[in-house]
Amino acid sequence: MKVAIIAANSGMFDAYKVFNIATAAAATDAEVGIFFTFEGLNLIHKEAHKNLPMPAGTEHFQEGFKKANVPPVEELVGMAADLGVKMIACQMTMDVMSLEKEQFIEGIDVGGAVTFLTFAKDADVTLTF
Amino acid sequence: MDVNKVLDAKGLACPMPIVKTKKEMTTLEAGQVMEIQATDKGSTADLKAWAESTGNQYLGTVEDGDVLKHYLRKATPEEEKEEAKHPDVVNLGDLQKKIAGEEKITILDVREPAEYAFGHIPGAVNIPLGELEKRFEELNQDDELHIICRTGSRSDLAAQKLTEKGFKNVKNVVPGMKEWTGDLNKNH
């Protein structure tokens, strides 16, 4: 199984949608690639992904995350990397936002749209968050 | 239940039970059984699907209070091949007829205890293939012995082994429990 994901948003819920699916797929022996673009880049930004915002009006779910023992986003990202999930940061967004590769977590690739498309062209599952 | 490894995934939310299972499974040898303890209610459906996708064998789940105990066996690609070398084979339909008949027959189930616990033919004796070498004397050499496993592969090896030991009337049941539709006993 091959899973291609586009992460284009930076809320805390978005992070869990992306990384839960990605780690579950990788743990099920799937080849997984995520393309982080626009706000999605925050999910792999060294600092930003430690403090992602909850959608307005849902702050009270904070408690629920704790109760359900959901790991912090940071931990999930590390797990995804351990499981061999390929993470591609969008070069064009990085240029627009003046971001450098060093500001992101270790082990990511930087690439353009075609880098992702080449990975995704024979994927079994394609998701956009 | 007799297992080779117990994984504690209690208190963990999805996808952690799966991620942990995947990691622990790599430490098991083919044929070994793992018990995964979880409190995530979605873990039953998830582990079942995970086993199917990764070619492992989901045996079943036992509820123990709030804890779900899932049993998985690390399967090997070879055993799906159903390559039988022992010449004397009997199919499931004929076995069912024999069970219904008057004649007394012995069924030897050579799967792991956890597999046996989640469903076996009533009256079948359980000696896992790996223990047959030291336990074959529990069996009567003169009985008509019907050996069964999940796919016919382990039972084939068991039939060959018992024939070597001097058993004269040994039959391999094919394909095995995965297609058995008759009565089942459970003990868990």
If you average pLDDT over every residue of chain B, what do you get? 93
Report, as ranges of residue numbers, the positions in chain A whose pLDDT lies below 70.
none
Q: Does the pLDDT value for residue B69 go beyond 90?
A: yes
Angle at Cα B150 formed by Cα B84 and Cα B160, nearest 5°? 35
Using omega within 30 degrees of 0 as the cis cutoff, is the peptide bond preceding B113 cis?
A: no
Confidence (pLDDT) at B72: 97
Asked if residue B185 belongs to a domain, the reply is: no
pLDDT value at residue B83: 64
**For residue B82, is pLDDT > 60?**
no
In a domain, B184, yes or no: no
The reported pTM is 0.85
Decide which of B75, B99, B121 is a domain's last residue: B75
Which superfamily does A2-128 belong to? Answer: DsrEFH-like (3.40.1260.10)
Look up the CATH number of the domain holding residue B166.
3.40.250.10
Which sign does the torsion angle of CA A87, A103, A107, B18 carry?
A: negative
Chain A residues with CB under 8 Å of B13 CB are 68-71
Domain boundaries, chain A: 2-128
Report whether pLDDT(B187) > 90.
no
Residue A85, phi then psi, degrees to nearest 5: -70, 130
Q: What pLDDT, on a 0 to 100 scale, did the predictor assign at position A84?
A: 96
* pLDDT given at position B164: 93
Containing structural domain, residue B11: 5-75
Encoding tokens for residue B33? 């059984």
In Å, how far is A80's CA from the nearest CA of chain B? Answer: 10
- For the residues B73-91, what does the mean pLDDT come to? 81
- Smallest CA–CA distance, residue B77 to chain A, in Å, is 15
> What is the CATH number for B53?
3.30.110.40
Facing B54 at nearest CB: one of A23, A29, A68 = A29
For residues B91 and B170, membership in a common domain is answered with: yes
What's the confidence (pLDDT) of residue B75? 86
Out of B24, B47, B75, a domain closes at B75
Place of tokens 């839960």: A20
| Inter-chain CB proximity A28 and B16 less than 8 Å | no
Query: b or e along B159-174 (b: 16 or more beta carbons within 10 Å of the residue's beta carbon)?
Result: bbbbbeeebeebbbbb
Q: Can you tell me the distance from the alpha carbon of B128 to that of B45, in angstroms, rounded to the nearest whole number?
A: 28
Query: For the residues B136-156, what does the mean pLDDT come to?
Result: 94
Contact predicate A128/A41, CB 8 Å:
no
Q: Which of B15, B21, B54 sits opposite A20 (nearest CB)?
A: B15
B149 carries an active-site annotation: no
* Alpha carbon distance B140, B80 (integer Å): 30
Our count of domains for chain B comes to 2
Asked whether residue B94 falls in the same domain as residue B156, the answer is yes
Of B14, B45, B49, B67, catalytic: B14
Cross-chain CB nearest to A27 (options B11, B13, B18):
B18
Task: Measure the CA–CA gap between B96 and B183, rounded to whole angstroms.
Answer: 9
Of the candidates A105, A109, A129, the residue with the CA atom closest to the CA atom of residue A45: A105
* Predicted pLDDT of residue B2: 87
